[in-house]
Amino acid sequence: MRPASTPLRVQEATLSVLMPVFNERQTVETIVESVHAAPIKPMKIELVVVDDCSTDGTRDVLLRLHESGRIHKLHLQPGNSGKGAAIRQALAMSTGDIVIVQDADLEYTPKDWPVLLAPIIDGRADASFGSRFLGGPHRVLFFWHSVGNKLLTTFSNMLTNLNLTDMETCYKAMRGDLARGIQPRLRSDRFGFEPEITARLARAQARIFEVPISYSGRTYAEGKKINWKDGVAAFWHILKYNLGS
């Protein structure tokens, strides 16, 4: 691991943006443009997109964006394998000094990247999580979702001995070498990626920071995909990846 006192030279650094996509035809072009407009210059961006066998025309949009150079690396999954599998594939294709997961919807904004990346860039952290519960602006939505999230985060913290406030956040940035070193051990195919990567980072004794981010959640009518079954499964993933291999 890079010594804590050694900052990253942003003039020479690349951020790999790992974007799993499934049926996001209405939002994917907007989020790709938001990625390229992110206020992180002079750091370079490597946008790695993995389409999880979309059926709504998303692939046509992605192929056009790839041909135009807006997407640097594109992989089309032969079948629907889940978010975790898509992120694993994107991570294996990445080369950046830092990697960050960016969903293809508009719930998370790349405008928050500077504060999220800062602890890694200045050498204080190996990973940085963006928390939706540390005071950033957010859309008011589902009470029981927030309760479930806090329960899962608390349960994860009990086994990792971390004090996170938002284990389930999409916004997880990590040093590229660390993330790619963990990648071969990742197993979760769906939304279990979040507790699994948290457990893997804890086992690696990674220095983790948490920073406030904004959040504009979607309703199910607007395309939200995670449901209560994924929440129940997350408890099993927390046990499996903290107590198992």
Q: What is the pLDDT of residues 61-70, one digit of tens each?
A: 999 999 999 9
Q: Which of 170, 191, 22 is nearest to 99 (CA)?
A: 170
Query: β-strand 44-51 against 127-131: which pairing, if any?
Result: unpaired
The predicted pLDDT at position 98 comes to 98
Is the bond leading into 20 cis (omega within 30 degrees of zero)? no
Ranges of each domain in the chain:
10-243
* Residue 184 token pair: 């071969």
What are the phi and psi torsion angles at 89 (to 5°)? -65, -45
Give the DSSP letter string of 163-190: --S-TT-S-EEEEHHHHHHHGGG----S
Helices (H), the chain: 28-36, 58-67, 83-93, 113-121, 143-160, 176-182, 193-203, 228-243
The predicted pLDDT at position 74 comes to 98
CB distance 58 to 25 below 8 Å: yes
Per-residue pLDDT of the chain (245 residues; tens, 9 = 90+): 444 558 999 999 999 999 999 999 999 999 999 999 999 999 999 999 999 999 999 999 999 999 999 999 999 999 999 999 999 999 999 999 999 999 999 999 999 999 999 999 999 999 999 999 887 666 545 565 677 788 999 999 999 999 999 999 999 999 999 999 999 999 988 878 999 999 999 999 999 999 999 988 645 454 455 665 766 777 888 988 898 76
Please give the model's pTM, rounded to 2 decimal places: 0.89
CATH 3.40.50.1390 fits 10-243, yes or no: no
The order of strands in the sheet holding 73-76 is: 73-76, 44-51, 14-21, 98-101, 172-175, 127-131, 208-212
The predicted pLDDT at position 2 comes to 47
Q: Which of 54, 105, 49, 100 is nearest to 81 (CA)?
A: 54
Angle CA(43)–CA(46)–CA(48) in degrees, nearest 5? Answer: 150
Q: Tell me the pLDDT tens digit for each residue of 89-117.
A: 999 999 999 999 999 999 999 999 999 99
